[in-house]
Amino acid sequence: MTADNASQIDQNTIRLVLLPKYNSSISSYTTISLKDPTNDGESRQFLVSQPENKLYSLNKTDFKDQYKEKQKVTKNGQPIKSLMLTTTTKSNCLIIGKTPEIYVGTIFNQIYFLLSFFVQFLRQDHLRLLSYDDLCEMFEDSESLGSLIKMKISFKESLETICETVRENGETFYKVSEARILDYINQRVDRIFEHFPCSLKSQLLRKLQRVNNLVPSTEVIKLSHINASIDLLSSFVDKYYLNKVRARYDFGPLIEYHEKLAQMEEMNKVAEDNLERLNEKLQNNGSSKRKRKQIGTKKVVKRIAVGKGALDMFFGKNK
């Protein structure tokens, strides 16, 4: 951004994209909208860098800190958003964005679009060896894959990861393999588990310890982290694969712990309800006794006949 360009920016229309620091400064970028790999019909924004032909997923920040209860907000209850842009060539050039949009770009592996595409073939067991050109011709039937092909995105490396390969006459043929796909997803799960965020660990632990007299074991905590790691992949991996990946783990201890947790929560709820009804009953009985006591101790005023009172006798003496 030059000083002249910065001075012409409208502070209410700033859109900033943050990219990894190792990205080349000479790259050019094209925005592309692709359907979510999980086939839910929603579209997401991506960037394609040239000449590297890398794909970046754009995630918009909402400035909300879910782990900070006392975050400062505006009168409308929205997070305070501000952004300052300046240049290295002109010190007095400063733009302050009032309502900026900030996107974080992360490298996105196009393999997830392939996983989505191959689900129907695996379900129908319709598998056969195909050349790369034949596969690309099939990919063009997919809106997302077709768009990536037009952007010169290569799928060869991804296909070698999830397919069995055969080389004949200098040409490579590919056959999608469910086992290789599940192995790849397992590797992603292991990687997430190894770098599991501390904030999520604390959140999961609080959920497991929400009943005071029930403490999770180390095994239960570990299984909860693995299960959450699989859940984190659900935004771009089809449930068809995730269910099969879960079947590779023994979540029995975690399931048993959740069942005990649910039982104890139900017991505590019943006890609280019984205590509440008992308190209401005691309060009702107490108010009834107070009413009876007030009625029983009411003081009766003795009436004196006219002519026999103290004043009557006084006036009578004067006569």
- Tens of pLDDT, residues 77-96: 666 666 666 655 555 555 55
Element (H, E) at 46: strand 43-50
Lowest mean pLDDT, pick from 19-28, 118-127, 282-291, 306-315 = 306-315
Q: Is the pLDDT of residue 223 over 50?
A: yes
- Token readout for 109 is 């592996």
Residue-wise pLDDT for 246-281, tens only, equals 999 999 999 999 999 988 888 878 777 788 888 877
SS3 16: strand
Instruction: Report domain extents, the chain.
Output: 1-108, 109-176, 193-262
SS3 15: strand
pLDDT of residue 281: 78
Q: Are 225 and 218 in contact (CB under 8 A)?
A: no
Q: Are 44 and 33 in contact (CB under 8 A)?
A: yes
Residue 40's pLDDT band (cuts 50, 70, 90): low
**Whole-prediction pTM value?**
0.73
Residue-wise pLDDT for 162-211, tens only, equals 999 999 988 999 999 999 999 999 999 999 999 998 888 999 999 998 88
- Alpha helices, H only, the chain: 3-7, 111-123, 132-139, 143-150, 156-162, 178-194, 198-208, 218-232, 239-246, 252-296, 310-318
Residues in Cβ contact with 280 at an 8 Å cutoff, skipping those fewer than 6 apart: none
- Across the beta sheet with 163-168, the strand order is 130-131, 171-176, 163-168
Using a pLDDT cut of 90, give the percent of the chain over it: 42
Residue 98's pLDDT band (cuts 50, 70, 90): low
